[in-house]
Structure 1
Amino acid sequence: MRVSTRFSDSIHILAFIEIYQEKKLSSELIANSIETSPVVVRRLMSTLRGAGLIATKKGTAEPKLAKESKQITLLDVYLAVEKDRQLFTLDTNTNPECIVGGNIQKVLGAYYEDAKMAALRKFNNVSLQDIIESILVEQKIKQAKE
């Protein structure tokens, strides 16, 4: 089973829009950075627009953040693209007559829920601006090594 990259790709799109805000930002240009298709980028941008995170004008390559990057949390992005999708999936086809198979779902389910809440709390405390600043620091470090 393939793991979804919608969340990370959406953060990528938002950071790209902010960092390159002075350029024409076609879906092809953004897709090149993500190494995906422009169709995927357009779909994600449509979702982000619907969630009020970006503003676009039909027929132009000028997407903008709908609010300041420090006001957009990773939780905002996660909820926009993943809704309330499970972070972890339990196998429901286990043998109820087995000690492990009969109890694993309840036990793991509780731990998975704790982990999900911890992740969502963390997402709520990290802004897009935090991500952008970290990207720019990483770029400076790369350049200093060259």
Structure 2
Amino acid sequence: MTDVSSRYLTLSKQLDALLDKDLPYISNLANFSALLWLELEDINWVGCYLADKAKKQLFLGPFQGKPACTSIQVGKGVCGSAFAQQQTFRVENVHEFPGHIACDSASESEIVVPLYLNGELFGVVDIDSPRLNRFEPSDQIGIEYLVKVLENKLSDVHF
């Protein structure tokens, strides 16, 4: 993985050691969020929104930061759009994103990465920053890599 910076490679090693496939997925998502919260600079929220496909919405999962929106309609806001389109959204200025859902008025930029469990779209990882243009293309590569580490560790986890 030559495109992944050394900072994210180091984080991936920490993450791999921290996650435990013998624990429930919710415990691993909680530690994933906590590690990113501690190690990433200039962020004010990190966590997961998980899919409720019957209701066509995402619900709040493990996170670190201020209280957050508890549900987001699929296709709405940055999280719902990233989930619906099954692709990473890196937003330099959330105030310019059509339909942005402001859970924390201090957030200025955001990155959302789809999360898969056993090959099925399961939710999204959401990271907010109080700084405009916080997430560079190199951050996107690194965060997507960390999410892959998480997905691989969760691949044998049962509900």
Give the TM-score category using the shorter length.
0.3 to 0.5
Larger radius of gyration: 1
TM-score (norm: length of structure 2): 0.31
Give the structure with the larger strand fraction: 2
Give the structure with the larger helix fraction: 1
